[in-house]
């Protein structure tokens, strides 16, 4: 397979990157810019020179008129048409505004395309989260791979200066808490697929009672399809900072056949999740999550790129999964690509460390600091997996999240779709969920399993 080098950034670095070891909190002058020439989350407030990226004006903070949650997330931009379409035949003319992974995928699968639409900067969080960001950013700092003077919620580094800062922004992104039953679709190159049902109750640290410092989230989750996985339940407690004493991931699994709970220390890194046919690793979920110690992190810079955004059409409850599947990925007419500013973040496997991906390049939406695209390279340095994480604003909850994310294997044509809800009862998501710590214990999941 052809090797792909990361192209030079058209706009290079927009800020100076700190020297190793100099990981300071934001200065008072930088903090004063939040809500002025920078958004409350640290992005450039203004649009770009030619107007193809508009100014941020508060995002999409209210549902459309007449909206009912039972309708699912209706598309507020449903009447818009693509401005143009990028294909394998013309992708080279768009330069580094298209990721190397997407360029390779378009060339491998002529049926795939990137319809590009007008850009809408819909990201919005609640006012209290913006206030938390300003408060935390004044104190948070990186020491080694750890973070000091920080606890969720809030973006710790609204204007990241290092790779470690940027990945902490991703792993601490605000979601509050949610309950959702979603589907995974492992798809073979032949087009054959099956449905894996996965139900989650996930609560971010600030929504857990009683409060626990350094808690990123608690989650219990289990399969409701297929029958071979039915009754398997996971429990995970994750830390914000893995370097602190006693911190890290604690994970357990309830096995319905054995009717017992056991520790699951392998539920991390490149462990292959059940129901994914080997096409997704544990730390791929949400773009990246979990321990960051196996990679060296380099913040390459900020640039304009086409990323999957405002992907409401993909969530349309009238769509059936069979009508969405195509070679190499979902049918392109269901996708929506927009021009946005992104942070480019490289993760390179450290010498002596093990992972199926020797290098990963992440493209984080500047407005939300959430991964929207990623490229994964195998042990020989060849481009192997292409990840798309379409972003959607939950306009009733002040949360931006990823939907219908696809892991595509360039070597064999297989791909995996995660977090699909089209054939689930609506509303598929319940947001602003809180949780009691006593409900996230091994005894609690044992009781659920027995039921």
pLDDT value of position 259: 82
Omega before residue 210 within 30° of 0, cis: yes
Burial of 216-247, coded b for 16+ CB within 10 Å and e otherwise, reads bbbbbbbbebeeebebbbbbbbbbbbbbeeeb
Tens digit of each residue's pLDDT (9 = 90 or more) over 423-446: 999 999 999 999 999 999 999 988
356 within domain boundaries: yes
20 within domain boundaries: no
pLDDT value of position 451: 54
Q: How confident is the model at residue 23 (pLDDT cuts 50, 70, 90)?
A: low
The answer on pLDDT for 3 being more than 70 is no
pLDDT value of position 12: 39
Domain interval for residue 421: 29-55+87-450
338 within domain boundaries: yes
| Rounded CA separation 427/162 (Å) | 38
Phi, psi (5° rounding) for residue 332? Answer: -60, -30
Number of domains the chain is built from: 1
Q: Which residue has the tokens 């971010």?
A: 204
- What integer is the mean pLDDT of 154-176? 98
HSE value, Cβ hemisphere, 13 Å, CA-based, for 369: 29
Q: pTM of the predicted model, to two decimals? A: 0.94
pLDDT value of position 412: 97
- What integer is the mean pLDDT of 256-266? 88
| Rounded CA separation 17/49 (Å) | 24
15 within domain boundaries: no
Q: Answer for the pair 329, 104: CB distance below 8 angstroms, yes or no.
A: no
pLDDT value of position 450: 57
User: Which positions ≥6 away from 283 have C-beta within 8 Å?
Assistant: 268, 269, 270, 289, 290, 291
Q: Strand ranges (DSSP E) for 167-239?
A: 177-187, 196-204, 208-209, 215-225, 233-239
8 within domain boundaries: no
pLDDT value of position 256: 82
Q: Answer for the pair 450, 198: CB distance below 8 angstroms, yes or no.
A: no
Q: What is the DSSP letter of 155?
A: -
The answer on pLDDT for 77 being more than 60 is yes
pLDDT value of position 253: 96
221 within domain boundaries: yes
385 within domain boundaries: yes
- What integer is the mean pLDDT of 167-192? 98
pLDDT value of position 1: 40
39 within domain boundaries: yes
Q: Lowest mean pLDDT: which of 21-30, 93-102, 381-390, 435-444?
A: 21-30
Across the chain, what does the average pLDDT equal? 94
CATH classification at residue 234: 2.50.20.10
pLDDT value of position 13: 41
């Amino acid at each position: 397979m052809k090797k792909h080098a990361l192209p030079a950034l058209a706009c290079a670095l927009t800020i100076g990157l700190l020297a190793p070891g100099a990981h300071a909190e934001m200065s008072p002058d930088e903090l004063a810019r939040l809500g002025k020439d920078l958004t409350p989350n640290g992005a450039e407030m203004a649009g770009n020179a030619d107007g193809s990226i508009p100014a941020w004006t508060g995002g999409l903070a209210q549902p459309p008129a007449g909206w009912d949650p039972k309708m699912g997330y209706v598309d507020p931009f449903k009447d818009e048409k693509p401005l143009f379409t990028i294909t394998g035949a013309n992708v080279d003319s768009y330069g580094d505004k298209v990721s190397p992974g997407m360029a390779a995928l378009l060339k491998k699968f002529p049926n795939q395309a990137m319809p590009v639409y007008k850009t809408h900067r819909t990201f919005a969080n609640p006012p209290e989260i913006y206030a938390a960001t300003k408060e935390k950013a004044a104190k948070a700092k990186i020491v080694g791979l750890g973070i000091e003077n920080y606890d969720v919620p809030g973006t710790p580094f609204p204007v990241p200066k290092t790779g470690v800062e940027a990945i902490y922004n991703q792993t601490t992104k605000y979601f509050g808490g949610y309950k959702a039953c979603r589907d995974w679709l492992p798809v073979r190159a032949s087009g054959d697929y099956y449905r894996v049902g996965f139900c989650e109750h996930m609560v971010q640290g600030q929504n857990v009672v009683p409060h626990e410092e350094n808690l990123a989230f608690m989650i219990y989750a289990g399969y409701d399809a297929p029958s071979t996985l039915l009754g398997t339940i996971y429990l995970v407690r994750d830390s914000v900072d893995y370097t602190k004493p006693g911190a890290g991931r604690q994970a357990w699994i309830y096995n319905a056949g054995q009717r017992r709970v056991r520790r699951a220390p392998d539920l991390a890194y490149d462990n292959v999740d059940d129901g994914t046919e080997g096409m997704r690793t544990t730390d791929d979920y949400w773009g990246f999550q979990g321990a960051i110690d196996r990679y060296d992190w380099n913040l390459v810079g900020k640039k304009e790129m086409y990323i999957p955004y405002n992907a409401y059409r993909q969530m349309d409850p009238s769509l059936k999964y069979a009508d969405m599947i195509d070679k190499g990925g979902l049918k392109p007419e269901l996708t929506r690509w927009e021009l946005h500013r992104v942070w480019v973040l490289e993760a390179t496997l450290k010498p002596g460390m093990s992972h199926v991906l020797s290098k990963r390049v992440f493209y984080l939406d500047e407005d939300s600091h959430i991964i929207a695209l990623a490229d994964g390279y195998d042990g020989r340095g060849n481009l192997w997996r292409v990840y798309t994480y379409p972003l959607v604003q939950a306009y009733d909850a002040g949360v931006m999240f990823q939907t219908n994310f696809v892991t595509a294997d360039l070597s064999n044509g297989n791909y995996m779709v995660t977090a699909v809800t089209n054939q689930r009862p609506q509303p598929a998501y319940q947001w602003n969920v809180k949780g009691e710590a006593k409900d996230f214990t091994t005894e609690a999941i044992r009781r659920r399993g027995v039921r």
